[in-house]
Structure 1
Amino acid sequence: MDNEKINQIEKILYSEDFNEALTQVASIEDSEMLYVLAANYNWDNGLNIPKAIIANDNCDMSTGLMIFYLADGIRLLDDKESVEQSGLDEWSEFIKKVYLLIEMNSLKTSRVSYRPELTKVQAFKLRKANPDLPAIFLEGIEGEDIEIPAI
Structure 2
Amino acid sequence: MKKISCIETILYYEDLNEATKQVASIGDSEMLYVLAANYNWDNGFSIPRAIIANNNCDMSTGLMMFYLSDGIKLLSDKESVEQSGLDEWRKFITEVYSKLEMDVFKRSSISYYPELTKVQLFKLKKIESKYT
Q: TM-score range by the shorter chain?
A: over 0.9
CA drift at 1:120: 4.3
Percent identity between matched residues is 70
* 1:48 and 2:46 correspond: yes
TM score, norm. by length of structure 1: 0.82
CA drift at 1:29: 0.2
- Distance in 2, matches of 1:102 and 1:127, equals 19
- Distance in 1, matches of 2:119 and 2:87, equals 29
Provide the residue aligned with 1:97 in structure 2.
95
Q: 1:108 aligns with which of 106, 127, 130?
A: 106
- Distance in 1, matches of 2:52 and 2:6, equals 18
Equivalence map 1:2-151=2 (5 Å): 3-131=1-129
AA aligned opposite 1:23: K
CA drift at 1:82: 0.1
- Distance in 2, matches of 1:9 and 1:22, equals 12
- When residues 47 and 77 of structure 1 are mapped into structure 2, their CA distance, relative to the original with a 3 A threshold, is same
Retained in 1: the 8 A contact 2:99–2:105? yes
TM score, norm. by length of structure 2: 0.94
Unaligned segments of structure 2, at least 5 residues: none
Deviation by residue 1:43-97 (Cα, 9 ceiling, x = unmatched): 0000000000000000000000000011011111110000010111111011011
CA drift at 1:130: 3.5
Deviation by residue 1:97-118 (Cα, 9 ceiling, x = unmatched): 1001111111000100100111
Q: Secondary structure in 1 aligned to 2:36?
A: helix
CA drift at 1:132: 7.0
Q: Which runs of 4+ in 1 moved over 3 A?
A: 130-133
- Distance in 2, matches of 1:85 and 1:95, equals 14
Query: Which has a greater percent of helix?
Result: 2
Retained in 1: the 8 A contact 2:16–2:46? no
